[in-house]
Amino acid sequence: MAAALPLPTQEAPPYNAATKLRLRVARLSILVSVIVLSIKYTAWAVSHSGALLSDAIETILNVLAAIGTLWAVAFAARPADDNHPYGHGKAEYVWAVIEGVLVVLTALVILAIAGHDALHIHAPEAPLPGALLNASAGVINLLWALILRRMGKKHHSQALSSAGDHVLSDVWASIALLVGVCLIPVLHWLWLDPLLSAFVALNVLWTGFGMMRHSMTGLLDEAPPPELVSQVGQTITQAGQGALEAHDLRMRRVGALYFVEFHLIVPDEMRITDAHDICDRIEHAIRAVLGRSSIHIHVEPEDLAKRHKPGASGVLVM
C-alpha cells in the first residue's frame, strides 16, 4: 500500500498595509502610555496628592490595556484556519470586553483610595507643579486618543476604538484634576482632594461599562445600521438582473469583515452557469459597497419565491 502523501502546508500570508498600520499604532500606544504614566507618577511624587495618585493608578491600566490591544489586533489579523474557518476577527471584541472589566476593577480600587484619603485628609505638598505636570500628560493623551479613535473608525478596529475611548476618558479626568488640585491651596478645601479621586473613579467606572456594552454588540452579531442593509439590498436588486427575487438578507460584521447571506430565486429553465454568473456579478457589486466581505448566496427555484406569499418580508424583486 502506497504511503499517503503529506498534506501541503500553507504559510500565513503577510499582513496587508491596513493591518500593518494598525499594529504600528498599537505598538506606539504602549510607548505613549508608558510616557504618560511616567509623567503622572512624577506629578504625584511632587505633590503627594491622592487625586493625582488615583490618576496615575488609572494610567497603569492604560499601559496594560495597550499591551492587550496589540495582542488583539495581531491575533484578529490571523487568516482563517481549520479551527477558525470564519477568521479571528472577534478577538478584538473579546479584548475590548476584558479591558472594560479591568477598567471597572480599577475604578473600584480608586474608590477605595478615595475613601481612605477621606478618612485621613492632608494637604498636598506642591499642588500647582503636580497639576501642571498632570496637565501635560493630559495633552499627550488627548492627541493620542483622537488618533486611536480615528484609526479605529477608519479600519473598523474595535480594539483601537475602545483604547481611544479609554484614553479620552482619562483626558476629561485630567481636566477636572487640573482645576480641582489648583483650587485646593486657594480655597483651602482639603476634602476636595479625595472628592476628586472619587470623581476619577466614577468617570473610569462609566467608561468601563460603556466599553463592555459597545463591545458586546460585536460578540452578539448585531446587524449593521438599517441604511447600510438597505443599500446592500438595492445593490443586489441592481446587480441581479436575470434573477427573479432575493429574500432573507442577513448581515453582520466582525472587525473589518462583513458577512452577507441571502436566497436568490432564478427561473427554472436557467442554466447553472448563468446563475453562477449572476452570483458573481452580485458579489462584486456588494464588495464594491462594503469592501472585505464573505458572501453566501443560496440559489433556489421559482416555486420557493416569496413575493406572492402573504406576509412575506425581506423580499427584493429583481
pLDDT digits 0-9 by tens, 30-45: 999 999 999 999 988 8
Strand 257-265 to 293-300 pairing:
parallel
| Residue 314, pLDDT score | 57
Cβ–Cβ contacts within 10 Å for residue 315, how many? 18
| Residue 126, pLDDT score | 65
pLDDT digits 0-9 by tens, 65-104: 888 888 888 888 787 788 887 778 788 788 878 878 887 8
pLDDT digits 0-9 by tens, 272-311: 999 999 999 999 999 999 988 889 999 999 988 877 565 5
As a whole-number percent, the residues of the chain with pLDDT over 90 amount to 26
pLDDT digits 0-9 by tens, 110-168: 788 777 767 777 666 667 788 888 889 989 999 999 998 888 888 777 778 877 877 88
Task: Give residue 7's pLDDT band: very low, low, confident or very high (50, 70, 90).
Answer: very low
Mean pLDDT of 174-198: 74
For the CA atoms of 192, 197, 200, 204, the dihedral, rounded to the nearest 10 degrees, stands at: -160
Strand 293-300 to 315-317 pairing:
unpaired
Mean pLDDT of 194-206: 77
Instruction: Check if the beta carbon of residue 50 is closer than 8 Å to that of residue 194.
Output: yes
Task: Give residue 221's pLDDT band: very low, low, confident or very high (50, 70, 90).
Answer: confident
pTM above 0.85, yes or no: no
What are the phi and psi torsion angles at 243 (to 5°)?
A: -85, 165
pLDDT mean across residues, the chain: 80
CA-CA distance, 58 to 69, in Å (whole number)? Answer: 16
Mean pLDDT of 225-254: 91
Cβ–Cβ contacts within 10 Å for residue 179, how many? 12
CA-CA distance, 50 to 116, in Å (whole number)? Answer: 9
Instruction: Check if the beta carbon of residue 175 is closer than 8 Å to that of residue 138.
Output: yes
